[in-house]
Amino acid sequence: MLAFGHMSHSPSSIVLRGSSDACHLLRRLTFAATPSQQRAIEGKPLPAAFRSLVAASREAALPETPAVARGTWTNRALRFTDTTNSQIAAMRNAVSQSNRRDAAVLREWWLQEMINGTAPLRENLVLFFHGVFGGSGRVIDGPQALYGYNALLRKAVFGTIPDMVEAMVLDPGMIMQESYEEAKKEKPPEFSATRVFDNWTIGPGNYSREDTMALARALTGWVLEASEGVQPPKPIDPQAFTSNRRMGLNPVFHPEFFDDGPKTILGTTRNFGARDAVRFLAMHDLTARRFSKLMIRHFGVEDPDGRLAGQMTETYHTTKGSVEALLADLVMSQEFWSPASRWNLVKSPVHLVVGVCRQLGISNPPFAAIDTWMTASGQTLLDAPNFGGEGWPGQEEWTNPPERLAARYQLGAALCGGDTSWGLLPETPVPSTAPAVVSKPLDRPLPSILRRLDPAPGIDTAVLERSVKAVPPAKRSQEMVRRVLATPEYQLA
């Protein structure tokens, strides 16, 4: 086992000889430590193990676009000159309900990829950036745009943060969410600028009203339009809300709307446009520090004196915001391997459910029950709190109020789906499109179940085994799993 603290040699010289070390690395980076993953990295030097995890995610195929997001988006709430108020209200309600249903389908699709896909590290990074940048089906109109934003993150997570942000500023979903569609020089989108500062780059409290107005001017000029040749069936009401006039999802620049002139942002004066303004902000020292700290928090690393955050900030600058380089700094740090960083992370609901499904080989869990459970537990995918910023609050926030903690303890019941049996099969690679594995319940000994589930130390095995003695053998393993999932020890990573 690795024993860090005040040590004279670098963690990069360590070989992962103990299963506990491999499990610690895997449960933080990939939601869970599974037997095949452990075998793949045990005995390797830490840098080689890290590179193999990154390479597996880099080389993994991107998931297939879900059916609900294929095809061209059509605005079913267009307001024509002869549309009445009651008609538009009915159309808006129908579209809102449809978008909620489609968002639920996309949540299931994403969870399927986290559970069954071959790139859990990639999906964990997508989850991290989704929490920071936001992305909500409540304001992003239609599954194509919501999926497109998620797909953008997935393609960008092993690149650089400035590249990611620059691509995001012209993403249709983000244009909708941050409300700078059709922004004109006569009325720069001040609200949108504050969101780019607060959620995408330097963070709140680090800019002035003058900075806000300058960035707002840079965001002008972009309109979401239909593909060339697409025309409305009849005249659209020019006074309608933007959402009721939008014909397509193609960002088109209109020079006549753009505020063309010098703009001073954080002391630098240029004729900024949207892309170069957000790239400039993404390379700022405050952005580098913010993302370093957010990544440290997401992966559950204790950095009491800020040494690691400082090192990652420097790496951000030298690599122009490379996500892989920041993650390498994190994994190769003494802080990552310190006793204070072991078993101190309260798992998020996503971490809990994805982890147990990967550990037990449950390839097709009851998604409707899981969706309800995740909402009760405080984490609804594709609906980040406050449309981004600091991401989902973690640690104690995952266990308060008591009702939320009680909901977390019901994960076993949600996964079991009534009469559904636990898999507990020998682990085999499962493609993301594989059908559900149907298996007979097995009576596994508790030590075998604990090895598979990898909870924190402290479970009293004797008490647990006595508690299930009266359960029929065919259901005993299932009940043991249920009880392990409801322990405080399983809530930690």
Tens of pLDDT along the chain (493 residues)? 333 333 445 777 778 876 789 999 999 999 999 888 988 998 999 999 999 999 999 999 999 999 999 999 999 999 999 999 999 999 999 999 999 999 999 999 999 999 999 999 999 999 999 999 998 888 999 999 999 999 999 999 999 999 999 999 999 999 999 999 999 999 999 999 999 999 999 999 999 999 999 999 999 999 999 998 889 999 999 999 999 999 999 999 999 999 999 999 999 999 999 999 999 999 999 999 999 999 999 999 999 999 999 999 999 999 999 999 999 999 999 999 999 999 999 999 999 999 999 999 898 899 999 999 999 999 999 998 888 888 898 888 999 999 999 999 999 988 876 544 555 544 444 444 444 444 444 567 888 899 899 999 999 999 999 999 999 888 888 889 999 999 999 999 9
Domain boundaries along the sequence of the chain: 1-7+22-342, 349-491
d(CA 28, CA 60): 19
Residue 343 structure tokens: 């078993």
pLDDT of 15 reads 81
d(CA 179, CA 19): 49
Helix (H) or strand (E) holding 275: helix 274-282
- Comparing CA positions, the residue from 100, 180, 142 lying closest to residue 383 is 100
CA distances, 43 to each of 30, 52, 64 (Å): 19, 13, 34
Name residue, tokens 């957010």.
294
pLDDT of 228 reads 87
pTM score, whole prediction: 0.92
pLDDT of 272 reads 98
pLDDT of 416 reads 76
pLDDT of 196 reads 98
Strand boundaries in 143-239, DSSP class E: 222-225
pLDDT of 9 reads 54
Cis check: omega of the bond before 401, within 30 degrees of 0: yes
pLDDT of 422 reads 57
d(CA 285, CA 204): 14
Pairing of strands 250-253, 263-265: unpaired
Q: Give the contacts of 133 (CB within 8 A, at least 6 positions apart).
A: 153, 168, 174, 199, 200, 384, 388
